[in-house]
Amino acid sequence: MKQEELKKLVGEKAVDWVHNDMIVGLGTGSTVKYMVTALAQKIKTEHLEITGVVTSARTAEQARSLGIRLKSVDEVDHIDLTIDGADEVSADYQGIKGGGAALLFEKIVATNSRKNIWIVDQSKLVKQLGAFPLPVEVIPYGSQQLLTRFAAKGFHPSFRLTSDGQKVKTDSDNFIIDLHLGEITAPAEMATYLKQQVGVVEQGLFLDTVNTVIAGFDDGPRVFE
């Protein structure tokens, strides 16, 4: 199966976890897009009362266009379940997220969610995190200094750029610095170091966040819990 078909497969499978009256966190990315489409369909066919809490302007636009009722994270008293994608997932269910530059809102929604599910195609499952560049969201002021500091640490940082060479801006008007680490041997230490740097808003290591991973394989979706 092609990667796109695997994404669709897990996106559609994930809505099995959604039940009536739930408040559901809606992640961001190309895999989540299939899930949001499937969720809208399920809401219509099963006449469900579902409230979505989005993690990006992109997902908000799609969910609204499909008629999913939305509230902001600050308007709800809990989130039952969040379904999101990931860029890498290790064997012990730690992950890197932020390939779509939505890591800050994704982490806020995930942190406030009772259950978190990641939906990925099999290519995202790795032995060790770090081949995927680790995204770090930074405020623009002083960001060049941060880049220089990360370079001195041997993190091989680069500002994420748009196709026309501008620095990517997140939904919070921040920049993304990607760290080309190759491997992350001590994720918790790395997360702590990054969060301690003034100007860093959030970083893309999602540690001890997820309860369930649905991975797409050629012979169908596999659920890891």
- Give me the residues that bind ligand 5RP (CB under 6 A), please: 27-31, 84-87, 97-103, 106
Of 18 and 32, nearer to ligand 5RP (C-beta) is 32
Lookup: tokens for 20: 């009536």
Contact status, residue 98 vs residue 135, Cβ threshold 8 Å:
yes
Closer residue to ligand 5RP (CB): 28 or 143: 28
Given a contact cutoff of 8 angstroms between Cβ atoms, the answer to whether 66 and 37 are in contact is yes
CB 25 within 8 A of CB 81: yes
Nearer to ligand 5RP, 31 or 82 (CB): 31
Query: Distance (Å, rounded) from C-alpha 94 to C-alpha 205?
Result: 8
Residue 92 phi/psi, 5-degree rounding, is -100, 25
CB 216, min distance to ligand 5RP, A: 11
Nearest approach, Cβ of residue 100 and ligand 5RP (Å): 3
CB of 102 to ligand 5RP, least distance (A): 4
Complex with ligand 5RP: residue 4 or 46, whichever CB lies closer: 4
Please list, in sequence order, all residues whose beta carbon lies within 8 angstroms of the beta carbon of residue 200, skipping any fewer than 6 positions away: 136, 137, 138, 146, 194
**What's the closest the beta carbon of residue 76 comes to ligand 5RP, in angstroms?**
21
Kindly tell me which of 37 and 48 has the beta carbon lying closer to ligand 5RP: 37
Of 70, 65, 152, 54, which is closest to residue 104 (Cα–Cα)?
Answer: 54
- Binding residue ranges for substrate: 28-31, 84-87, 97-100, 124
Minimum distance, C-beta of residue 135 to ligand 5RP, in the bound complex (Å)? 7
Told to judge if 106 belongs to the known catalytic residues of this protein, a careful annotator would answer yes
174 Cβ partners below 8 Å, 6+ apart?
104, 137, 138, 139, 140, 201
Q: What are 153's two structure tokens?
A: 């640490």
Strand partners, 177: 136, 159
| 106, 27 contact by CB (below 8 A) | yes
- Choosing from 12, 106, 137, 202, the catalytic residue is 106
Q: Which residues are catalytic?
A: 106
